Amino acid sequence: MEEGDDRFRGGLNLHLGFNSYSARYYYFMRSFGPVKESTHVLALSRSFPIPGMKFLWGRLGFAPLLETTKLSYSKQEDQAFDTKEAQTNLGFLLGVFMQVTNSGPLSFQIAWESALYPAGLTGGILLATGRKQLFTLSAGMQL
């Protein structure tokens, strides 16, 4: 995942699809010192073929976001300053992906997606946005 600063960090993706509709869950976590930051994105989307491109598809949908930041000190005298805060937002998911299936049930997918979020009500009017850019390499099974 990249968040507008050209820095990429790894996470987990789970995909559940039915026909052209899918639910994809992304989880990213990082900790530094007493800070632990977790990012959860649930992308609800519909896939569509790109005309003339055999293996390329597009994906459009919505992406609710939950970000939690937890401050947790190990020393007992500092634990009074422990805090936890959560932020939510609802954005659009726009992406392209390449999917390859073998003769059996296995399928492989590489996806380049962006979850675009308005930066507040007034920020959204002025086209100010935040983005979670998601690169995913996944393997799965068609049931």
Residue type at 2? E
Compute and round to an integer the Cα radius of gyration of the chain.
Answer: 18
Is position 33 an interface residue for another protein (rule: CB under 8 A)?
no
Residue type at 35? V
Is position 129 an interface residue for another protein (rule: CB under 8 A)?
yes
Is position 121 an interface residue for another protein (rule: CB under 8 A)?
no
Q: What is the three-class DSSP state of 137?
A: strand
Is position 2 an interface residue for another protein (rule: CB under 8 A)?
yes
Other CB atoms within 10 Å distance of the CB of residue 40: 17
Helices (H), 1-143: 120-125
Q: What is the three-class DSSP state of 77?
A: helix
Is position 107 an interface residue for another protein (rule: CB under 8 A)?
no
Residue type at 109? Q
Residues 35, 90, 106, 119: which binds another protein (CB under 8 A)? Answer: 119
**Nearer Cβ to another protein (52/104):** 52
Is position 10 an interface residue for another protein (rule: CB under 8 A)?
no
Which region, judged by CB under 8 A, interacts with another protein, from 28-36, 48-56, 63-71, 78-86?
A: 48-56
Which region, judged by CB under 8 A, interacts with another protein, from 15-23, 33-41, 77-85, 115-123?
A: 115-123
What b/e readout covers 53-69, taking b as 16+ CB neighbours within 10 angstroms? eeeebebebebbbebee
**Nearer Cβ to another protein (7/75):** 7
Interface ranges with another protein (CB under 8 A):
2-6, 8, 48, 50-53, 56, 58, 60, 94, 96, 112, 114, 116, 119, 123, 126-131, 133
